[in-house]
Each structure stands twice: as C-alpha cells, then as structure tokens.
Amino acid sequence: MTTPSSSPWRLARRAERMNPSVIREILKVTERPGIISLAGGLPSPDSFPIDAMREASARVLRDSPREALQYAASEGYGPLREWVATQMAAQGLRVDASQVLITTGSQQGLDLVGKVLIDAGSTVAVESPTYLGALQAFAPYEPEVVTVPCDDDGPLPAGLAVAQGARFLYMLPNFQNPSGRCMGEARRAALVDAARAIGLPIVEDNPYGDLWFDAEPPPSLASRWPEGTVYLGSFSKVLAPGLRLGYVIAPPAMMPKLLQAKQAADLHTPGFNQRVVHEVIRDGFLRDHVPTIRARYKQQRDAMRAALEAHLPPGCRWNVPSGGMFFWVELPAGVDATALLPKAVDLGMAYVPGAAFFAADPKPNTLRLSFVTVSPAEIERGVALLAQALKGD
C-alpha cells in the first residue's frame, strides 16, 4: 500500500537524462516587467506575415476544408514536399520529393534522427559549442557525446579523428546557434572530404541559412555528399515558429525508418498548417518577404556591435555574425556568466549563459546575446546594463 506522499510510478532510465531547457527557464525570468531580454532565440514577431497567413487560412478553409481538417499522410502534404525539393535543387541539392519528410518543427527532426540512429552507448559527435536543443533531443537515447575541436570557422577537419566510429556528426554550418559563426567554402569542402574518408555521416541543421546579411552562405554540406547527409530545415525563422513546421531531407535508404518513427510520434504534422504555409509560399512570397527580415536583423546586428564596442570592458571578445540572430561573447577569464546572470537581471537585462551549449568542458565565461526581438535603443541599453553588471562583479 502506498502512502499519499509516495508515487507508484517508475521512471525509465532515459528520463533521468532529460533536463529542463536552460533557455526556456531563463525566458520565464524575462516575462518580468521592464526586463530587456537579449536571451531568447526567438524570431521577431514584427516579421510575421500576419495578413498573408490570414488570407491563406481563409482560402484553405474555403477550397479544401475537409481535407485540411482531416488526418493526413505521415510524409506530409505533397505539394509542400515538392516545393521543398524544388527549393533545394535551386541550392545545389537535387532530391526527390519522396526524400522530404515534413516534421513538427525541425526540433522533431532532431528527435527522429536520434530515435533512428542512436543506440544506448553509441557515439554522437558535435561541435563546440553546439545547439542546446540538439543535446536535449539526443540525450534520451543515451549516446556518448564527443566534441570535435573547433575554431572560429567551425569544426577542424583533422579533429574528426575523435569522431571515428560515431553514428553521425551534428553541425550547423550557417550562423550557428549559439556562436553565430558561418563555415567558409574551404572548410565545408575539407570537412565533407574528411567525414567521407572515415565513413562519418553528417546531420546538417540549417534553420538560419536564409538570414544572411551581405552574402549568401556557401552551398550546403548535403549538396557535397547527399548519400551521407541528413538535412534539416525549418519555416520557423522565415514565416513563424508557432506553425511548428520543419522538414527532413534524407537519403532514400533512411526514409522508411524516419517515416516509421514519425508515425509513432504523432502520425503527421498538422495538415491545416502545411496547407496554409504552402498557400502562402507557393507563388514566390518568400522572395520578397525574407529580404525584409534580413534588412531588419542587419540593422539590429549593427546596433549590438556598436553597443558592445562602446560598453564592454577590455578582456571581452565577441564575433560579428554575418547573418542569423546571435552574438557569442567571451567575458574576461575568471568571470562566471551563470553566476553573473542574477545581477544582470536585477539591473534589468537577461542573456543566456554559454556553459549549457557545451557537451563537455564548458566555458563558464561565455554567453549568448540575441539581437532580433529588441529595438536598437533597447539593445544599446541592455548591453550597457550587462557592462554595469560586469563592473560590479
């Protein structure tokens, strides 16, 4: 007989490896009035195409309401999959629509990849630092995570030796979350050659690739090694994250198992959302819409660069991203960004400590700043408050 305070539930071992998102917990703090949040990796709501979505929703409900509100194919809405395949061909990756699986956000794509490819105790390789959400998605499948040495251009090809025998190498080549770095052409070519030479598959995550400011990034890793790469894309950063719409592009041999994993997870991504998005984008809407996002984010990037140069003390180092949403800041040696955060919040600003983005050997003096959801004036004020917190540390 159990007592009122005891629980009959026995958690699976994998549940012990699940941890709350540091970023999501920090976002709760930013809901306090007056906090300037440079923390969340959220796209600007001012970029959401609300009118286009409203009109597309009306057309879908007028023209195909029963189909849009019914269960749908697990693979995804056929015309949307065709659109994705066509777009990828324009970027040098020639795939058939049968290789496209529509997911409930690209985060689900990470979960499906983990479910299909990771055994308990098997090795997964990641960058340093890397996307926290990927570490969370892979963790329940109990991998051993190894970190590939990196520099400001991304993973070092010679460093792939530590990943020998890994199930895959996970990378974000374009405006990486959290570091903001973008791999150059030569590094991409060398990495793919090195991975191919040791038979190391690649999982390429590309939610930010359309958010370039001055020059389009080099061709994808997948276009260089299609049979050895799984590619993840998203509509969250160019339309709206609330739609929860992403996609996986995989070699034909992998698609059946990814599809089965998708069916077991949620049967299919909401068909209504898929049809609305296709209705919005099918006639070239993104060709005009995405440049407006780039222009907005570039202005905010420039405001943060100026604020960092004006306010942060000597000993701080940061990148200047050529696209995306983030600055990665290294504070002077000995400063713990996690311990500093409550002081910054008390002053009225928030950021994400960098330690959570490392699979091993975290750097406590790092932090991530997002510049896309606040005005240039708020950016300047927020960075000034960060500097004030540092001076009082």
* pLDDT of amino acid 34: 87
pLDDT of residue 16: 80
Of 233, 252, 283, the one marking the end of a domain is 283
207 within 8 A of 234, measured Cβ to Cβ? yes
pLDDT for the residue numbered 393: 56
Paired sense of beta strands 349-350 and 352-353, if any:
unpaired
Answer whether 76's CB lies under 8 Å from 98's CB. Answer: no
Residues 112 and 161 in one domain: yes
pLDDT digits (tens, 9 = 90+) for 62-119: 999 999 999 999 999 999 999 999 999 988 899 999 999 999 999 999 999 999 999 9
Task: Please tell me whether residues 292 and 152 are part of one structural domain.
Answer: no
Region 142-156: mean pLDDT is 97
State how many domains the chain has.
2
Strands 246-249 and 100-103, by their bridges, are antiparallel
Q: Is residue 221 part of a domain?
A: yes
Query: For position 321, what pLDDT does the model report?
Result: 98
262 and 133 in a single domain? The answer is yes
Mean pLDDT of 196-201: 98
- Residue 318 shares a structural domain with residue 268: no
Q: 381 and 293, same structural domain?
A: yes
Whether 76 contacts 268, CB under 8 Å: yes
Domain assignment present for 8: no
Q: Are residues 133 and 257 in the same domain?
A: yes
The SS3 call for residue 234 is: strand
pLDDT above 80 for 25: no
CATH number at residue 113: 3.40.640.10
Boundary residue ending a domain (283, 311, 327) = 283
How confident is the prediction for the chain on average, in pLDDT? 95
Give yes or no: residues 115 and 135 share one domain. Answer: yes
261 and 385 assigned to the same domain: no
Give the angle subtended at the CA of 229 by the CAs of 116 and 286, to the nearest 5°.
105
Domain assignment present for residue 6? The answer is no
Report which secondary-structure segment, H or E, holds 144.
strand 144-147
Residue 194, pLDDT above cutoff 60 = yes
> What is the predicted pLDDT for the residue at 41?
87
CA-based nearest residue to 46, from 234, 300, 245: 300
- Residue 57 falls within a domain, yes or no? no
Q: What is the pLDDT of residue 24?
A: 64
Q: What is residue 145's three-state secondary structure?
A: strand
Does residue 88 sit within a domain?
yes
Q: What are phi and psi of 37, to 5 degrees?
A: -95, 115
Q: Does 204 have pLDDT greater than 90? A: yes
CATH number at residue 363: 3.90.1150.10
Residue 313 lies in a domain: yes
CA 41 to each of CA 36, 133, 264, 354, 371: distance values in angstroms, whole numbers, following the listed order: 14, 11, 29, 13, 9
pLDDT at 13: 83
Q: Taking phi first (over 0 means left), then psi (-120 to 50 degrees means alpha), and beta for anything else, what does residue 39 get?
A: alpha
Residues 328-357, buried b or exposed e (16+ Cβ, 10 A)?
bbbbeeebebbebbeebbebbbbbbbbbbb
- Provide the residue count of the chain: 393
* Enclosing domain of residue 77: 71-283
Confidence of residue 137 (pLDDT cuts 50, 70, 90): very high
Note whether residue 56 is domain-resident. no
What is the sign, positive or negative, of the torsion defined by CA atoms of 239, 240, 241, 247?
A: negative
Report DSSP letters for 162-194, one per residue. GGTT-S-EEE--SS-TTT-----HHHHHHHHHH
Q: Confidence class of residue 192 from pLDDT cuts 50, 70 and 90?
A: very high
**Strands 123-126 vs 144-147: parallel, antiparallel or unpaired:** parallel
Q: pLDDT band for 32, please (50, 70, 90 cuts).
A: confident
On whether both 40 and 84 belong to a single domain, the answer is: no
Same structural domain for residues 36 and 109? no
Q: What are the pLDDT digits (tens) for 223-265?
A: 999 999 999 999 999 999 999 999 999 999 999 999 999 999 9
For residue range 313-363, list pLDDT tens digits in order: 999 999 999 999 999 999 999 999 999 999 999 999 999 999 999 999 999
The last residue of a domain, from among 230, 263, 283: 283
* Any domain includes 121: yes
Q: What is the DSSP letter of 212?
A: B
Confidence check: pLDDT of 4 > 60: no
**SS3 at position 150:** strand
Instruction: Tell me: do 386 and 273 sit in the same domain.
Output: no
CA–CA dist 40, 330 (Å, integer): 18
What pLDDT does residue 21 have?
Answer: 66
Same domain, 272 and 295: no
Read off the pLDDT of each residue in 189-206 and give the average, rounded to a whole number. Answer: 98
Look up residue 100 and give its two tokens. Answer: 């496209």
